[in-house]
Structure formats: C-alpha cells, structure tokens
Amino acid sequence: MDKRESCGNSVAFKQPHGTQIEFTEQKQELSKRTANTGRRTLSHSISQSSTDSYGSVGSGSSEDESSPRDRSQKTHQGLSDFCVKNIKQAEFGRREITNAQKEMPALMVLRKGAGGEKPLAGAKVLGCTHITAHTAVLIETLSVLGAECRWAACNIFSTQNAVAAALAEGGTPVFAWKGESEEDFWWCIDRCVGAETWQPNMILDDGGDLTHWIHKKHPSLFQNIKGVVEESVTGIHRLYQMSKAGRLIVPAINVNDSVTKQKFDNLYSCKESILDGLKRTTGVMFGGKQVVVCGYGEVGKGCCAALKALGTIMYVTEVDPICALQACMDGFRVVKLIEVARQVDLVITCTGNKHVVGREHLERMKDGCILCNMGNSSSEIDLGSLQTAELRWERVRPQVDHVVWPDGKRIVLLAEGRLLNLSCSTVPSFVLSITATTQALALIELYSAPEGRYKQDVYLLPKKMDEYVANLHLPTFDAHLSEVTDEQAKYLGISKHGPFKPNYYRY
C-alpha cells in the first residue's frame, strides 16, 4: 500500500474544488479585520486553506451585518438546529442547487441507483467543506443514500449564504456563513460536532480542521467513527503525519491522490484554467511569447500543453530527472530558471515547492514580465524578497499588482502569488462532479467495508471505485465503452467488470 505522503517537487498539487468566478478584493479587508481581533485559541493550527481568498457569485454587499450567532432563525418546518446568514435566502439557494444538479449527473445517478437499498443507511456524517451549490448536491446525495449529515464550512470566505440557507431549510443542520471570523469558524465546527446529542460515525473533511478539532476536543468520538475521507493536500499531509507518528486511530481514504483527481483535475483542469486566468487578468497575447513553467508534474504538463498549443516558446525547470526527461521528449527545453529569467515574458510556478522563484530571478526578469503561481503552495514565489523598501507595489487591477523597480522596471504579479486558478479563473463543474462523486464513494466504501479491510492507516480508493467514478462521467461525452467478452477476460486473467489494470498502472 502506498502510504507515503506525496512530496515531489513537480507534483503541483491543487487546492480542491471551488466555484470561484469573480475577482475579489474582500480578502485584504477581511484579513485586516481578522488581524485586529484578539483571538488566540487554536489559531496556530487553523489550516492554511481555511483562510484562502475565495470569492463567490452573488454575495450581496448589503446583507444584514449582525452576527448569525446572535440571531434566532427557524425553517418553515420549525427547525432551528443550524446557523446561517439568513434562512430567508433559501429559495434562491435552492435554485442554485437545482442548477448545479444538472452539472453533476454522476451524483444524480448515484441517487437513483440507491433505490431500495440505502448504502449509507445508519451513517452519521460530519462534514467540513466549502459550502457551495455543488457541495450541497453532494450533501443531499449522501442524505438520499441514507446518511444523516451535519455540516460546517472549511473556509471563512467561501460559503454561499443562500445555499447554506437552502440546506438548512432542506433539513441539514449547517453552520456556516460567508465572512466568518476565526472564532466563528471554530464555533461553527464545534456546534456542528454537537458531541453530546449526536454521535457521528463518518467524517468528510477538506483541510483537516474538523479532524484536528475532534482530536483535540472530542477524542472519544473516534470510538464510533468508521473512517475519515479527506480531500485536500493539506489534510492528507496531516493524516500521513499522524499515521507515521502512530496517532491515526481510524482508517482514512486519501481522495486527493485518486487517479480521477490527479489525472483529470490537475492535468485537464489546469490546462484550461491557466489560459483563462492569464487572459482575464492581463489580456496577454500568447502567440510568440517566451514562457518558463517551473515543475513538470500534472499541473505543469497541463500548463505547458495549453500554452504550447497557442504558440508560445516554452522552457521547463525540474528537479526530478524522470519528469525532466518527459519534458524533453515532449519538446520542451529543460533549463534552470536563472538561465532564462532574462528573456521570458511569463513565469509560471507549478512545483508545490517553496521559494522556487527568488529575488535573484526577479532581478533578472525584464520589464513587463508576468509572474503567477499554479502550484500548491502559495510560497512558491519568495514574496518576502519583494517586500523591500526600494520596490514599490502598485495595484493596477483586481488580482494584478505591479512591483516597480527603482529604474521603472515592472514585474506583473498575479493574485499576490496565490493560486491563479482559484483566484482568477473558473473551475469547471466537471471537475467538481468528479471530486464529489469520489468523496461519496469513499464514504460508502469506508462505511460498508467488512471489518478488517481497512486498518488505522491512509488508503487510496480501490481501483474499482475509481473506475466507477469514471464510468459515471462517460455519458457526458456520449462515450460508448466496449465490453470484455468471457474469452477475453480469461485471456487477460481479469474479471469482465474490472478492475482492468494492476494497481501500479500509471494511466
């Protein structure tokens, strides 16, 4: 079994799903506000992703400014076990959820498939994810499959208030609103856990904050918990560390490294969002531009393929000789960043590594050079080295800063070095659908697995379920799968119904 953390230089993990569409400036303000509040408890352990800037559509600016915690609200059925911004927005939120359902046909098929048998009957799922129309479709799918759910937000900015209201109105206890303070954040999680009245037996986490909180505050709950499904790089990292340290006491499924995540989300989604993000922010013409992509993992491969196809001249940097050799064979010159820093028009980081672009590179870059990050860590660019007295920062547009050198040279920095695709482009619903379906199947697998199949360790989803996730998405493309005959199955030594590949198969 593969239990090591994924730590490669070019892996270029991505933040999970999101429906971010518009540029957003809120973070700056909210961060400021946050900084002023004198909160302390646990703030050292809040996951980085929980405070990532994360805009959402239609977030009215004129909403009531009183804290949801101070308000008493009830659904039409008279339920009050929830905490959202404004329960009256439920109708609008319901419409959003209904629209999102169209884009997530796989989950709808799962609902239908449930029919008489409810694979999650008896499951009590505690969830902590972004709360958007798309995750709402997931949550309500879990309910249709038999689960009871309670939910909190994994990010203080990303909640779509109307959707949260619709979920609550629909009967799911949800504790989340857009613009939570850090204290609110933990308060919501704690209310969600509701340890005394309701004993969860499954956890669906995104970032690891919920898992962390239970560990710290309600460790006894783990006695009932059959497993954790975790989706984010950060959360997975925490789980592998716990596993190494022998502190992981339930099985966990690593959804982040599923083939459907790595090979689809990271490759195909980034292939498109790099173009989208760059056009939206800078309107740059690609034809003839010289571009260096740092890291040739899935994200780097996607970026390179898209940009090359649009007529750029590409360079790649790598630390891993295997990925470097792939870059060579794909027709990219593999160089050190310092070698091409002077001549390139665009620098894109996709390494998952730290300080890949440093001041020494920035010094060499030419006037007008655009710099952005598509990798996992927001520290790929050494921003600290740019926060010095002689350099002037100029915000020229949302998500676009000019860093101005004394001689007038301007480096165009996008999204302050945070993830370009999360901040400045759309995330296709196809990707959201694949991830949500994988999460649902992981929950089912852990919940219904016979005693002993999973130990206190971190697992990848069984290949057969990966294949099932893929299968559910083929109708979107009107794709017709061929069938294996009995004779062929025998010849190949496999079952007609899969899995079709050995575990080590790389796709």
Q: Is 247 in the site for its own copies (CB under 8 A)?
A: no
CA–CA separation, 485 and 487 (whole Å)? 5
Residues 256-285 that bind its own copies (CB under 8 A): 257, 259-260, 262-264, 268-269, 271-272, 275-276, 279-280, 283-285
Segment interacting with its own copies (CB under 8 A) among 29-37, 68-76, 222-230, 252-260: 252-260
Tell me the C-alpha distance between 219 and 215, whole Å: 5
The single residue among 224, 309, 384, 394 that binds its own copies, judged by CB under 8 A, is 309
Alpha helices in 397-507 (DSSP H): 420-424, 429-448, 463-473, 486-492
Q: Which of 113, 122, 311, 384 binds its own copies (CB under 8 A)?
A: 311
Helix, strand, coil fractions of the chain, as percent rounded to 5: 40, 15, 45
CA 374, 376, 381 angle in degrees (round to 5)? 70
* Residue that the structure tokens 């998952």 belong to: 352
Binders in 429-448 for its own copies, by CB under 8 A:
429-431
**190 alpha-carbon distance from chain centroid:** 23
Q: Which is nearer to its own copies, 70 or 478 (CB)?
A: 478
Cβ nearer to its own copies, comparing 175 with 332: 332
Cβ 392 to its own copies shortest distance, Å: 15
Output the six-digit token pair for 385.
Answer: 């080295």
Q: For 358, phi and psi rounded to 5 degrees?
A: -115, 180
Is residue 5 near its own copies by the rule CB under 8 A? yes
Between 393 and 507, CB nearer to its own copies? 507
Instruction: Work out whether 249 is an interface residue with its own copies (CB under 8 A).
Output: no
Give the position of tokens 């020229």.
396
User: Contact with its own copies (CB under 8 A): which of 30, 138, 270, 327?
Assistant: 327
Show contacts with its own copies in window 64-83 (CB under 8 A).
none
- Give residue for tokens 């590409």: 314
In the bound state with its own copies, the residue whose beta carbon lies nearer, of 64 and 394, is 394
The verdict on whether omega for the bond into residue 499 sits within 30 degrees of 0, i.e. cis, is yes
Residue listed under structure tokens 């030419």: 366
Question: Is residue 130 near its own copies by the rule CB under 8 A?
Answer: no
The smaller minimum CB distance to its own copies, of residues 195 and 319, is found at: 319
Bridge partners of residue 393, in order along the sequence: 403
Count of positions on this chain that bind its own copies (CB under 8 A): 107
- Binding positions for its own copies, 342-361, rule CB under 8 A: 343, 352-355
β-pairing verdict for 202-205 and 458-460 = unpaired
> 386 by DSSP, 3-state: which?
helix
Q: Given candidates 216, 288, 363, 455, which one binds its own copies under the rule CB under 8 A?
A: 288
Contact positions with its own copies (CB under 8 A) in 225-244:
none
Q: Which of residues 164-183 bind its own copies (CB under 8 A)?
A: none
Largest CA distance in the chain: 74
Least Å distance, CB 92 to its own copies, is 13
Q: Binding of its own copies at residue 398 (CB under 8 A)?
A: no
Does position 337 interact with its own copies (CB under 8 A)? The reply is yes
Piece of the chain touching its own copies by CB under 8 A; list 106-114, 215-223, 286-294, 414-422: 286-294
The span of 133-141, 142-150, 422-430, 435-443 binding its own copies (CB under 8 A) equals: 422-430
Q: Does 23 bind its own copies (CB under 8 A)?
A: no
Residue 21 or 221: the one with the smaller Cβ distance to its own copies is: 21
Among 425, 435, 438, 439, binds its own copies (CB under 8 A): 425
Of 151, 177, 213, 332, the one binding its own copies (CB under 8 A) is 332
Q: Cα–chain-centroid distance for residue 421?
A: 11
Rounded Cα distance between 296 and 8, Å, is: 11
Q: What is the DSSP letter of 453?
A: S
Q: 458 by DSSP, 3-state: which?
A: strand
Helix pair angle (133-144, 105-114), 10° resolution: 10
Least CB distance from residue 140 to its own copies, whole Å? 21
Binding residues for NAD(+): 297-302, 318, 421
Of 221 and 383, nearer to its own copies (C-beta) is: 383
Distances (CA, A) of 310 to 274, 286, 321, 437: 12, 6, 27, 33
Give residues 88-127 in contact with its own copies (rule: CB under 8 A): 102
Is residue 11 within the footprint of its own copies (CB under 8 A)?
Answer: yes
- How does DSSP classify residue 264? I
Contact partners, residue 369, CB within 8 Å, separation at least 6? 344, 345, 346, 347, 411, 412
Note whether 175 and 103 are within 8 A (CB). no
Angle between helices 105-114 and 463-473 (to 10 degrees): 110
- Using CB under 8 A, which of 23, 198, 405, 500 touches its own copies? 500
Task: Rule CB under 8 A: say whether 339 interacts with its own copies.
Answer: yes
- Specify binding-site residues: 132, 206, 231, 261, 265, 297-302, 318, 421
Place of tokens 């994994």: 154
Identify which of 92, 111, 433 has the alpha carbon closest to the alpha carbon of residue 261.
433
Q: Which is nearer to its own copies, 171 or 358 (CB)?
A: 358
Contact mark string toward its own copies, 445..484, x via CB under 8 A: ---------------x-----xxx-xx-xx-xxxxxxxxx
